[in-house]
Amino acid sequence: MAQDGSATAPVEEILIWGSDAGQRSSMSHPASVLTQDDLASINIATTEDVVKYEPSLVIRRRFIGDSNGTIGIRGANMFQTSRSMVFADGVPLHYLLQSRWNGSPRWSMVSASEIAQVEVLYGPFSAEYSGYSMGGVVLIESAIPQQREFHFDSSYYSQEFDAYGFDDRVNGYKTFFSFGDKIGDTSLYFSYNRLENDSQPQTFYFGANNSSPTASNVTGGVIGNDQYGNSQLWFGDTGVVDTETQNYKVKIGHDIGAWSGLLNIAYEDRASGHQPNAYMRDSGGDLIWSGNVRQDGDGISIPAGRLGVGEQERDSLSLGLRVRGPLTDSIDLESNFNQFAIVRDESRDSLRNPADPGFTPAGQVTDFGDTGWQSAEVKLTFNDLGVDNLGLVTGLRYDAYELNIDVYDSNDYQSGDKDSLNSSSGGETDVSAAFAELSWLPTQQWALTLGGRYESFNSDSGYYTTSVGGAVQPVTVPGQSRSAFSPKFTAAYQATDNWTLSYAVAEAYRFPIVEELFSQYQAYNTINQANPSLKPEAGLHHNIGVEYGFDGGYIRVNAFQESIDDVIEAQSETLAGGVSVRTFIPIDQVDTLGAEFIVNASDLWLDNLDVRFNTTFTDNEIVRNRVDPSIEGNVYPRLPEWRANLLATYHISDDWNVGLNYQYADTSFGRNDNRDTEQNVYGAQDGYSRVGIKTDYRFANGFSVGAGVDNIGNDIDFVAHPWPGRTVYLNVSYDWQ
């Protein structure tokens, strides 16, 4: 009853520091397991690629190297990042400090080349995880060598993209190498990953209507609709986004008898920048960067700061320690400790484009101060409670988060001068938890779990600034304390050797994060309002599963239902000129009803043909909303009704694979009022149908080569921002043992 896919270790002579390869946590908890053998058809550049074809899961990675690779699982959309948890070797990668695009997991702290196995748990049905697992949990397990080894791989990427006034090809590359060894009882692993890539423009700009009689006549603007179907005159874009990420990783494992420890140190050095493009030219052929202009009778205003340049530097350090072993013959202990610190995170933006005749060095500098988190967990597993096949997992966990953001007006943005404070905000939260879960196998056919999680939440030290008489003054924001208990129950019945039925039910409470409570600032293009009195989201979740297992795989159907009260929604409005005003306002109730159909099989129809296929249907509805009853009955944003994924790999030989990948989603909405119905335009929530291919060949001397293409049809799809056009992958690797 515990198998899910192949039980063969995915990497020879490598230890996985989690569950055994191919193992599911529980048959009664909806889950999916990926080993390295399952990845043969995926063009993998970064860690997000490993899981993006899994059921009911979406990764909004807009380009290779995107720092905003948000995740959504089941009824949690891609901007509800605090409803999904991601761990690597027990170290949290989820970013429970900010939300929406800023709240994506820190995927780049783990290199795709070091991953041995991934398990996705759907829903908050385990007492071991907090209410931040409402959507699900991604558990990444890396490998640590058991003998001396060296690995090197390098990839090249090339994407073509054509939309609005941009038509060009952008390129990138990745280089990774690692060295590992085991000396006595100590395992050592060192790796370096460098990714450099240029992306397509991520934002396209149109101007606010302006009938000024002094407007200059121009050409080159692009006429097209926005997501609401209104005709607009587009004057520019953010230009190519140039990203460079370097990751340094050290893992040290040590065994003392039956006890083992794993120290995990990861350091990320990330830099990015963009140079906007202007489309419009005056009668002399010069580019227009700001001012009132008119094209073919349409007058618009181009704000002076809209086409300014920007760059960001971010350095992050993650420390993790996992210790596990037996206390007695029947009691095991596991402890996890982690500290994540933003060593530096600074964005520098100019007020005007350097090509603008009115350019000066003036700009803004946004700086993160003391920002990061700490977590500690101790967990005991009792394997003998005096009743046959009765076990208990119980433990304590503590998480503390701190966020501080300062925005400065600068007389020289390139130098990072912080001349005068424009705004500042931040605060702290912490969650203490105690959990226990009984598991019982009363017969060979039945598996039952009963658990609960008690959590105590606190927020404090909140503040923001306001302007009084031209001077910036701090304002103290009140904190809050809340607690909640979340019961859990699951059951599985193996009716025959092939058929298994399961049911799971759980309550979950998702407490607000620091940004939702305290973040209040005004930058050039964004105004954010805090809401320190937010209550936790309260969810009731059900899952009914039916599985038919056979040699080499299974067919699985899950039906799930989620009803969540006080949904914390980051609602925003774009004002004339493109300034976005955002605040966090709860929606009283959102319901989701869904179903998943999953087929994972080896040697399906043909020998050597492996297939992973899944399709998901969801029906989402805003049931109650007292603040704005007009949106009741609407579809909740960014949740397509239908989604599907396919991975098909044919093993021509033991050394040569060819594969096909496919992703599908139908259209959705980006707003609660469901007014954004226009498709294939910037800002839309397009459906998409993307086909990719991949092949790789392994030589006897340790070298491997591969090639692939994603989005063969070169569809230009917008999920608010544009997703990549046709992308070519070339890679080479070498392994020595």
For the stretch 382-394, pLDDT in tens is: 998 989 999 999 9
Type and span of the H or E element at 376: strand 372-382
In 62-185, the DSSP E strands lie at 70-73, 84-88, 91-92, 115-122, 136-145, 149-163, 166-183
Q: Cβ neighbours of residue 98 under 8 Å, at least 6 residues apart?
A: 403, 513, 514, 515, 519
Band the pLDDT of 8: cuts 50, 70, 90.
very low
Identify whether 4 is part of a domain: no
Give me the phi and psi of 218, to 5 degrees please: -135, 170
Q: Stretch 461-490: mean pLDDT, rounded?
A: 90
Strands 537-550 and 499-510: what pairing? antiparallel
Identify whether 449 is part of a domain: yes
| Angle CA 337–338–343, to nearest 5 | 155
**pLDDT for the residue 5:** 37
**pLDDT for the residue 100:** 85
Give me the phi and psi of 132, to 5 degrees please: -70, -5
Identify whether 5 is part of a domain: no
Identify whether 196 is part of a domain: yes
Identify whether 406 is part of a domain: yes
6 pLDDT above the threshold of 80: no
Band the pLDDT of 585: cuts 50, 70, 90.
confident
CATH code assigned at 192: 2.40.170.20
Identify whether 7 is part of a domain: no
**pLDDT for the residue 4:** 42
Give the sign of the dihedral formed by CA 597, CA 599, CA 605, CA 606: positive
Task: Give residue 250's identity as a one-letter amino acid code.
Answer: V
Q: What share of residues in the chain are helix, strand, coil (percent, to 5)? A: 5, 60, 35
**pLDDT for the residue 475:** 87
**pLDDT for the residue 708:** 98
Task: Give residue 283's identity as a one-letter amino acid code.
Answer: S
Q: What secondary structure letter does DSSP report for 375?
A: E
Residue 542 CB coordination number (10 Å)? 16
To the question of pTM greater than 0.85 for the whole model, the response is: yes
The CA distance from 309 to 217, in Å, is: 25
26 pLDDT above the threshold of 80: no
- Three-state secondary-structure class, residue 270: strand
Nearest Cα to Cα of residue 176 among 46, 314, 63: 46
Identify whether 1 is part of a domain: no
Tokens describing residue 32: 């999916």
The CA distance from 470 to 474, in Å, is: 13
Band the pLDDT of 221: cuts 50, 70, 90.
very high
Residue 142 CB coordination number (10 Å)? 24
**pLDDT for the residue 523:** 53
Cα 403 to Cα 161, 463, 514, 567, distances in angstroms: 36, 11, 7, 22
Cα 83 to Cα 131, 347, 506, distances in angstroms: 7, 27, 15
Of 151-155, 189-193, 524-528, least confident by mean pLDDT is 524-528
User: What is the count of structural domains for the chain?
Assistant: 1
The answer to whether the beta carbons of residues 558 and 583 sit under 8 Å apart is no
Nearest Cα to Cα of residue 502 among 512, 510, 494: 494
Share of the chain above pLDDT 70, in %: 93
Identify whether 9 is part of a domain: no
Q: Stretch 370-377: mean pLDDT, rounded?
A: 96
The answer to whether the beta carbons of residues 35 and 6 sit under 8 Å apart is yes
Nearest Cα to Cα of residue 13 among 736, 552, 702: 736
For the stretch 615-625, pLDDT in tens is: 999 999 999 99
Give the sign of the dihedral formed by CA 228, CA 230, CA 236, CA 240: positive
Q: Stretch 474-491: mean pLDDT, rounded?
A: 94
User: How far does Cα 402 stand from its chain's mean position?
Assistant: 20
**pLDDT for the residue 645:** 98
Q: What secondary structure letter does DSSP report for 359?
A: -
Q: Stretch 484-495: mean pLDDT, rounded?
A: 96
DSSP string across 217-248 = E-B--EEEE-TTS-EEEEEEE---EEEEEEEE
Task: Name the β-bridge partners of 429.
Answer: 401, 459
**Residue 337 sits in which domain range?**
14-736
Q: What secondary structure letter does DSSP report for 652?
A: S
Owner of token pair 């291919």? 693
Q: Which residues of 427-454 are buried (b: 16+ CB within 10 A; e: fewer)?
A: bbbbbebebbbbbbeeeeeebbbebbbe
Q: Stretch 710-714: mean pLDDT, rounded?
A: 97
**pLDDT for the residue 448:** 95
- The 8 Å CB, 24+ separation contacts for 285-290 are 287/355, 288/216, 288/218, 288/235, 289/352, 289/353, 289/355, 289/356, 289/357, 289/358, 290/352, 290/356, 290/358
Task: Name the β-bridge partners of 318.
Answer: 266, 340
Share of the chain above pLDDT 90, in %: 83
Band the pLDDT of 520: cuts 50, 70, 90.
low
Q: Which residues of 282-304 are buried (b: 16+ CB within 10 A; e: fewer)?
A: eeeeebbbbbbbbbeebbbbbbb
Of 195-199, 273-277, 579-583, least confident by mean pLDDT is 579-583
227 pLDDT above the threshold of 50: yes
**pLDDT for the residue 11:** 36
Of 115-119, 412-416, 526-530, 689-693, least confident by mean pLDDT is 526-530
- Radius of gyration of the chain from its Cα atoms, rounded to whole angstroms: 26
**pLDDT for the residue 12:** 38
Across the chain, mean pLDDT equals 92
Query: Maximum distance among all alpha carbons in the chain?
Result: 89
| Angle CA 263–266–268, to nearest 5 | 175
14 pLDDT above the threshold of 90: no
Give me the phi and psi of 121, to 5 degrees please: -100, 130
467 compared with 460, residue with greater pLDDT:
460
Nearest Cα to Cα of residue 348 among 384, 381, 308, 387: 308
The answer to whether the beta carbons of residues 219 and 278 sit under 8 Å apart is no
**pLDDT for the residue 17:** 55
**pLDDT for the residue 22:** 57
